[in-house]
Structure formats: C-alpha cells, structure tokens
Structure 1
Amino acid sequence: MPHTDLPLAELRDCRGDVTEPDDFDPFWEQSLDQARQLAGEVTTAAAATPLTSLTVDDVTFGGFGGEPVRAWVIRSSDRPAPTVVEFVGYGGGRGNPAEHLRWASAGFTHVVMDVRGQGSAWGSGGDTPDPHGSAAAFPGFMTRGIEDPATYYYRRLIVDAVRLLDQLGTLPGVDPDRIAVTGVSQGGGIALAAAALSPTVRAVLPDVPFLCHFRRSVELATTTPYNEVARYLAVHRDRTDAVFRTLSYVDAVSFARRITVPALFSVGLMDDVVLPSTVFAAFNALAATDRRIEVYGFNGHDGGGVAHWQIQVDWLTERI
C-alpha cells in the first residue's frame, strides 16, 4: 500500500483550514448542562467472567439525556490507581472484558465505555442502545441527524463520554486525580473531545484519530466511514452547507485547540481510512506544550499496534 497523503515534511506543518462556529463553546456547555440535569443512576455489579487475576465490574451510568450507558471497569487491585478511559472505534462496542486486558495488567484501572447504538461490525458486541431516531440517513452512523447539530449522533456520543468522566469518582479502583483518555480511530476522536470538555482529564492518547478536519476527510477519503457523508451529499445535493455546519461542532481539530494537558498521538502514513494530514491538523492545533506524535511510515489504520501501546505505557507512567 502506498503513502496516502502529503510527504512527511509537509505533514508536520499541516494545520488545515478548519473554521469553527461562533457558538461552539456555548453549544457544548448547554449540551452538558442538560445532560447533568438528567443525571441518571450509576450502578456497579460484578461481571460474569472467567477472569480470575483481574476484577471486572459491569457499570451503567447516565449519559446523554440521562439515558443508560454501559461500561467495564477492569482492575488488578481495590486500591485507587491511575485510570485509563478507553473509547471504542467505529462499529464496535465494549465487547467482552477478555478483549481488554493490557492496561489493567500494567497496573492501571481500565474503564471501557460502550458505544450507543454500535457494536455489531466487529469485536464481541455492545450493550447500549441509542433510543433516538433519525431523519433520512445513509447506512452507518455518520449521517444520523446530520442536518442539525442538536440532533447529530456524535453530539450524543460525546456527551456520553464526558458524563462518564463526570462520574468516575464513584467507580471502584479509580483515582479521580489521575485520569487519561484514549481510543483508536473513532475512539481517538472522542478522546480528544472528552479531553477538551472535561476538567478531570490529565492526559490524552489518541491513536490514528477519526473525526478530524471533516471537509478534507469527506472530500478525499475513499473508504468508510467518511464516504458515508459523501454518499449522503451525492443524493442530498442542496444540503452541503447544513451538513458541514453540523460537522463543525464535532471536529476534533476544534477540540484540540482547547486541550492543554499532555498529548501522545499516533499516525500511519499508509492510512486510507483516516488521512495523515487530518491527524496532523489536530495534533498541530493542540494548545498543549507537552505533546508528541509517533509516526508509523509503513502502517495504515492499524497504526503502531502493540508496539505503540508499550510507548503509551511508558509515556503515561511518567505523567500520571
């Protein structure tokens, strides 16, 4: 597979022309205030699992609209420990706890949030429905409610992520003063949003993050999920302005401008799902001074895999 974007020297200076709406901050403040007023209940129960060397709790918390969202808490000790909150990639769900052993095995408490309405494209499934309908949409999640930021699917998912962070202090094994967020692809984009919107986050580690620089991504990416938007606009030719206005409220480049905590990114130069220039656009937008990006020149959307996770562990151990 060839490199899919600009030469690396140009990528390192790539910032992108991402315009954010004037009411970006009020929009998210109001969205979170509404969700917090409908807090929902946090419940924790021992998970049914054959794992014996780790403790797994099955958690339900109130997300967008106070609606129940599921999560796993996986830990090696009852004592509060530095905590990694993971958001899952496109089409996946929280799956089976046995799929998430690395962080807890390295001494962290690992919280894995389910993805509302997703969980049936790969992995072992999800357990959180999305009870909201949508107007006409292209198959997938990218265009659900896309003509209005108030009804857009990713508004709900981002609010879920921040509401989980709001309630971490009630969960077993969590040190609320040492919280990091991470995720691959969609999960990386959600991690950037969460790091911008939640004051509890102390570090962010997005891998090959999705949801960055939407205009460039939709116009140039040739694969799903971005081409769901392109296919939608090929039918709804008169709705381009409304669609990109909605996407401007969830663009991770705008969230990155508000992130001041340490950040460790990864990018694959042969990635044809998330273009490297869009990752660099978010990375270069960071307000954080403690930032680093690992470049994998001959990898695609897999990024650095386990090798990158080992870098993450060392980097994060130094910080939290």
Structure 2
Amino acid sequence: MALFDLPLDQLPSYRSRSTEPADFDQFWEKTLGEARSHDLDARFEPVDTGLTGVDVFDVTFAGFGGQPVKGWFVLPAGTTEPLPVVVQFIGYGGGRSLPHTHLLWANTGFAHFVMDTRGQGSTWGGGDTPDPVGSGPAVPGYMTRGIQDPHDYYYRRVFTDAVRAVEAARSHPLVDATRTAALGASQGGGITLAVAGLVPDLTAIVSDVPFLCDFPRATTLTDRDPYREIGRYLKTHRGADADVQRTLSYFDGVHFAARGRAPALFSTALEDQTCPPSTVYGAFNAYPVEDKAIEVYTFNDHEGGGPYQEAAILRWLPKRLTAG
C-alpha cells in the first residue's frame, strides 16, 4: 500500500476534530474511585522459568470492579535495591504470553511489569485474564462490546486495569515508584496514552503506532480491522452513529494525550492502514509537553519501526528513567 493519508508535511499541523465530553474528567475520576474502593491485593508469586539472568513473578492484582488481572513481573536476577520500572501494555488480541518473551527491560537493568489484557490472548501470545462482564449486541472482536453506553464499554475496564497495573507495579518493594514509565505498541500504545492522561506523575511514556486515537477520523478513513469493527456495527445498527461516537469520545487517545505530563516518545508509519498516521499525529499534536518526539517510518505499515524502533526506545527511555 502506498501513502494513503495526509502527506508528511501536513501531519505536524493536523488537529483532531474529536469532541471531548464535558464530563470527561468526572467520568474517569468516578471510574477510578470505584476501582480503588477494592483492595489492590497485588500478589507476586515466584516462578521457576529456568532463566538465570532474571527473576520472574506471576502477578495477580485487582482491576476494574475488583476483578483479578494477571501479569508478569521480571527483575534482573538478584536485585536487592529498588529499580525504575517499565509497565508494558499489549497489542490487540494478544495476552501476556510466557515469561521468556519479556526479557528486554530486565536486561537494561530495570524492573518490568507486563499487564495481561482482559478477555484477550486467543489470537496470539496466550492470555490468562477473563473478562466476566457481558455486553449488549456487538460485532466479533472487542471494539463494540458495550458501545451502547460509555459506562459499559469494554475499554473502560481495560483502561482502569491499566491504571491499577501501574499501582500494582509501584507497590513492589523492589520498585522505585518515583521512576515509572508506561510503554506499548498499537493497542498497547493506546492504553499507554490513557495511562498518561490518568496517572499524573509518570516519568516517561512510549506510545508506538498507537491504536484508539482520533476515532472520528480513524473509523471513516481505514477499512482495516480493528477500527472497521465499528463500521460493521454501524452498518447494521443504522442511525446509531452519534451515540457510538459519544461513547468513543470518553476513550479517545487524543483527549488522554491532552492531559499528559510526562516526556513522551511516539512512533508512526506512513503506510499504516491499521492506525493511520494522521490519527497518531492527532494524539501527538495534542500532547502538551515540550520533551516529546515522534519517530516516522516512511515506507512501513503497522509493523512500524520494529527492531529499529526498539533501538530508538533504548536510546531514549533509559536517559529519562535514570536522570537525576
């Protein structure tokens, strides 16, 4: 696929037309308040993986509604003093997989917390966290589950889990809670932006080719899943457009980005039909922090920078986590 979105010289001036709900902050304050009424109950159980360079823990903590969410916690072997922590969120359809797939950040000398995504993990990288909450009529996938009302929407639960994941990671005695980064790609990048807007004291974030951004443009620009799930829903539920866009407005990465305070590294790919570059720039341009940057991969699709972007992150993130 050749370039299909705005040209690169127009992307820095692009602004999303997504309308922020008047009660956006109140909605999320109430949501997180309800979640925090449950004991976090973060449990870290040692796991014998056969790996000698890291110590691995099977994590369970209370997420949305006090419901159990799984994760992995990985430390450099023999850690005795608190370390900066990288909290990672996973791409669409994936689960936490197995511990040996999460070795990068412990090998940089940081603690690493990986959140499983509720209800996902049967497309790739198996998951272990159910989503016990039902929904109204929905297209197969996750994008339209509970889309009739923002209180019922699937990503209300996921974003709440993500904030609680940061709290769980910070609760471990070998984590320096004052040096916390959030990181993810695609869906994980969208979840990262939600966390950036809901957790005010992060040290840094990395949001690669983020999903869940600029819904009004994304849902009408690309015909590729997962955004197309919303189009298929509206194809059947004629006339529900305004109600659906209202629900999505509470979960738009553009509005979370506008509340970000931490230094940020983004990435986008100009041939990305899954998360079109203008939607990524919609969030990036709304992010009100001077210390921000975006890596652009001109001839790539949703794979983005791949290992080249990992190298860019390794140059950028440790400097923020170890500063001072």
Q: What's the TM-score once normalised by structure 2's chain length?
A: 0.96
For residues 34-183 of structure 1, the aligned pairs below 5 Å read: 34-76=34-76, 77-123=79-125, 125-183=126-184
Deviation at 1:71, TM superposition (A): 0.8
Give the conservation status (yes or no) of the 8 Å contact 1:166–1:198.
no
Instruction: Calculate percent identity across the aligned residue pairs.
Output: 52
Deviation readout 1:147-204 (Å, 9 max, x if unpaired)? 1000000000000000111232322532101000010100000000001101341111
For residues 283-294 of structure 1, the aligned pairs below 5 Å read: 283-294=284-295
Deviation readout 1:18-59 (Å, 9 max, x if unpaired)? 111000000000000000002342111012412221111111
Q: Given residue 27 of structure 1, which amino acid in structure 2 is its aligned partner? A: F
Deviation readout 1:50-97 (Å, 9 max, x if unpaired)? 222111111100100011001101110242111110000000011111
- Find the aligned partners of 1:130 and 1:99 in 2 and give their Cα distance: 24
Match of 1:201, SS state, is coil
| CA separation of 1:200 and 1:165: change in aligned 2, threshold 3 A | farther
- Find the aligned partners of 1:202 and 1:258 in 2 and give their Cα distance: 14
Number of the residue aligned with 2:200: 199
Deviation readout 1:282-308 (Å, 9 max, x if unpaired)? 000001111100001011111111111
Give the conservation status (yes or no) of the 8 Å contact 1:204–1:262.
yes
Give the conservation status (yes or no) of the 8 Å contact 1:40–1:67.
no
- Find the aligned partners of 1:78 and 1:190 in 2 and give their Cα distance: 30
Number of the residue aligned with 1:18: 18
Deviation readout 1:115-139 (Å, 9 max, x if unpaired)? 000001112x001000000111000
Give the conservation status (yes or no) of the 8 Å contact 1:271–1:299.
yes
Give the conservation status (yes or no) of the 8 Å contact 2:73–2:113.
yes
For residues 291-310 of structure 1, the aligned pairs below 5 Å read: 291-310=292-311
Number of the residue aligned with 1:239: 240
Give the conservation status (yes or no) of the 8 Å contact 1:40–1:68.
no
- Find the aligned partners of 1:43 and 1:268 in 2 and give their Cα distance: 38
Match of 2:239, SS state, is helix
Unaligned runs of 5+ in 1: none
Q: What's the TM-score once normalised by structure 1's chain length?
A: 0.97
Match of 2:10, SS state, is helix
Q: Given residue 314 of structure 2, which amino acid in structure 1 is its aligned partner? A: V
- Find the aligned partners of 1:253 and 1:270 in 2 and give their Cα distance: 21
- Find the aligned partners of 2:173 and 2:39 in 1 and give their Cα distance: 19
Give the conservation status (yes or no) of the 8 Å contact 1:39–1:66.
yes
| CA separation of 1:181 and 1:40: change in aligned 2, threshold 3 A | closer
Give the conservation status (yes or no) of the 8 Å contact 2:200–2:261.
no
Deviation at 1:314, TM superposition (A): 1.7
Give the conservation status (yes or no) of the 8 Å contact 2:87–2:169.
no
Deviation at 1:234, TM superposition (A): 0.1
Is the deviation greater in 309-318 or in 113-122?
309-318
Number of the residue aligned with 2:220: 219
- Find the aligned partners of 2:174 and 2:49 in 1 and give their Cα distance: 18
Number of the residue aligned with 1:282: 283
Is the deviation greater in 197-206 or in 293-302?
197-206
Is the deviation greater in 23-32 or in 105-114?
105-114
Give the conservation status (yes or no) of the 8 Å contact 1:261–1:288.
yes
- Find the aligned partners of 1:50 and 1:129 in 2 and give their Cα distance: 27
Q: Given residue 199 of structure 2, which amino acid in structure 1 is its aligned partner? A: S
Deviation readout 1:260-290 (Å, 9 max, x if unpaired)? 2100000011101000000001000001111
Match of 1:46, SS state, is strand
Give the conservation status (yes or no) of the 8 Å contact 1:260–1:289.
no
